[in-house]
Structure 1
Amino acid sequence: MVRSVLLTGAAGRVGEAILADLADEYEWRLLDRDPPTEDLPGEVVVADVTDEAAVREAMDGVDAVIHLAGDPRPEAPWDSVLTNNIDGTQTVFEAAVDVGVEKVAFASSNHAVGAYETDERTPEMYRPDHDFRLDGTELPRPGNLYGVSKAAGELLARYYHDEHDLPVVCVRIGNLTEGHPPVDYERGQAMWLSYRDCAHLFERCLEADYGYEIVYGISDNDRKYYSLERACEVLGYEPRDNSARHD
């Protein structure tokens, strides 16, 4: 049973969503490269995710890891995603094996499959009655170098699971916004993930049993081109929000 969790990149938007609902549910160790500007639950560790010794020390004694840290910019240059996203993720997985954590939830991204969107395959075609959905079994098809780094993270997760039997779930996060979904463009509504669904999804990543999984992190939107079937089946994800009927 997971009681203590290391959350890397804790000061980011995904970390904010997770802690908004789950602050009292676990013993948190929060790692971020910058000192916090507000009170956060649990123990705060100021360190860079590429610092092997600091990451290993921060991970020692926790049951599970939610790995969010990295350069989140879709336009991030190669030197940044190589260092922060790829090297940093490998550091986290290596430390997880060394200290023997139970499981890791890795924050991947819709950008790992962004190039599946073409002029012929647009958000407008993904209506509720349409059969096509990306479900996590497709090969990565990144549309930028940030997406390349997230695809690399998924492959690192596969390696550490196969080689070291580390349970890892990779969550291809969609368009996370607080409050109402975006109203100005259809793609954002199709990919929308609410804060409370985000927190619930990562709670299920901590509580469910799995080996290696890739799931999509979106709310149960009427119009979506990512399948939630695997997240629901394997993790027990039960999203409550829908960009078409948000209240």
Structure 2
Amino acid sequence: MDEPVLLTGAGGRVGRAILAGIGEAYDWRLLDREPLSADALPAGVTDEDVVVADVTDDEAVREAVEGVGAVIHLAGDPRPNAPWDSVLSNNIDGTQRVFAAAVDAGVDRVVFASSNHAVGAYETDERTPDMYRTSDEYRLDGTELPRPSNLYGVSKVAGETLGRYYHDHHGLSVACVRIGNLTEGHPPREYERGQAMWLSHGDCAHLFDRCLLAEYGYEIVYGISDNDRKYYSIERAREVLGYDPQDNSAEYTFDGKPRDDSAVDGHPSQ
């Protein structure tokens, strides 16, 4: 890619994982509402490549998008319990602003960071025991209807729908990544749910790299590692994007240590 990639929300958890993994592979323009520390910048990125602005600022967003080849849009209020006024302003209006600015600037693609919360209400007391399993049965694959678990999830569904609109009516290539549970080093301590939706930092960077490189129109994919136990399918990400995750939560025990031979059927050793 000859033009730089705009990464919004660059200072957040997902942004840091992306930059740590593929920071040297691209030229970047980084946008965040807070200044970024020097140690957060990839090699070759200087303060001149950093835009300190909010996605609620239309003029700043349009200036940041000008001249880039692609956008990875992460910025927004990440709190699952975020109140509606923040969700509406930062996540919905902000996302629409990024899509519109990308189209007006002639950008070819936007990669939108959606969330597992867009479908969180599929997890019920009745269904949950059957969802965290090793078989393909009941896996969500991106074709199911949204079922948000909170207003934050509603905002992510809105972002996916905005992406669909800007693809259909303006020809923008859009990949929506429903990110699972991103943690560094090892899966969450909570075993079944945390390990079923684990996304390692390395696999996160690789997935967004594939979103920048692959050819597609509009896609919704799940962002998790290749865990033995999963209730999100990663087959579409493999098929369309060439996603090839290297990590598996089953390789770790409940306390986060690599499992030994006494672990059976993906369960942690006792």
Correspondent of 1:219 among 207, 217, 225: 225
Matched residue, 1:18: 18
Query: Is contact 1:2-1:64 (8 Å) kept?
Result: no
Correspondent of 1:231 among 226, 237, 254: 237
Q: Match of 1:6, SS?
A: strand
Q: Match of 2:11, SS?
A: coil
Q: Match of 1:172, SS?
A: strand
Query: Is contact 2:131-2:230 (8 Å) kept?
Result: no
Decide whether aligned partners of structure 1 residues 2 and 108 sit closer, same or farther in structure 2, where only a CA change above 3 A counts. Answer: farther
Correspondent of 1:152 among 144, 155, 158: 158
Matched residue, 1:6: 6
Q: Match of 2:251, SS?
A: coil
| Deviation of the 1:236 alpha carbon | 0.3
Correspondent of 2:121 among 106, 115, 127: 115
Matched residue, 2:32: 32
| Deviation of the 1:210 alpha carbon | 0.5
Larger radius of gyration: 2
Query: Is contact 2:132-2:193 (8 Å) kept?
Result: no
Residue 164 (structure 1) aligned with residue 170 (structure 2): yes
Matched residue, 1:98: 104
Matched residue, 1:131: 137
Deviates more, 1:216-225 or 1:115-124: 115-124
Q: Residue type of the partner of 1:144?
A: N
- Structure ranking higher on relative contact order (CA contacts 8 Å, 6+ apart): 1
List structure 1 segments (4+ residues) > 6 angstroms apart after TM superposition. none
| Deviation of the 1:133 alpha carbon | 0.6
Matched residue, 1:185: 191
Query: Is contact 2:3-2:67 (8 Å) kept?
Result: no
Percent of aligned positions that are identical: 77
How far apart in 2 are the matches of 1:238 and 1:31? 28
| Deviation of the 1:130 alpha carbon | 4.3
How far apart in 2 are the matches of 1:38 and 1:98? 32
| Deviation of the 1:21 alpha carbon | 1.1
| Deviation of the 1:74 alpha carbon | 0.3
Q: Match of 1:230, SS?
A: helix
| Deviation of the 1:37 alpha carbon | 2.9
How far apart in 1 are the matches of 2:90 and 2:37? 22
| Deviation of the 1:191 alpha carbon | 0.4
How far apart in 2 are the matches of 1:130 and 1:63? 37
Residue 200 (structure 1) aligned with residue 188 (structure 2): no
Q: Residue type of the partner of 1:21?
A: G
Name structure 1 gaps, 5 residues minimum.
none
Matched residue, 1:53: 59
Matched residue, 2:249: 243
How far apart in 2 are the matches of 1:176 and 1:149? 19
Q: Residue type of the partner of 2:33?
A: R
How far apart in 1 are the matches of 2:105 and 2:170? 12
Residue 70 (structure 1) aligned with residue 76 (structure 2): yes
Q: Residue type of the partner of 2:235?
A: E
Q: Match of 2:210, SS?
A: helix
Q: Residue type of the partner of 1:83?
A: S
Deviates more, 1:2-11 or 1:143-152: 2-11
How far apart in 2 are the matches of 1:199 and 1:20? 8
| Deviation of the 1:121 alpha carbon | 1.0
Query: Is contact 1:123-1:225 (8 Å) kept?
Result: no
Query: Is contact 2:148-2:157 (8 Å) kept?
Result: yes
Question: What is the CA deviation profile of residues 148-188 of structure 1, one whole-angstrom value per residue up to 9, with x for unaligned ones?
Answer: 00000000000000110100000000000011111333101
Query: Is contact 1:124-1:186 (8 Å) kept?
Result: no
Decide whether aligned partners of structure 1 residues 218 and 198 sit closer, same or farther in structure 2, where only a CA change above 3 A counts. Answer: same
TM-score, reference length from structure 2: 0.89
How far apart in 2 are the matches of 1:152 and 1:2? 31
- How many residues align? The count is 247
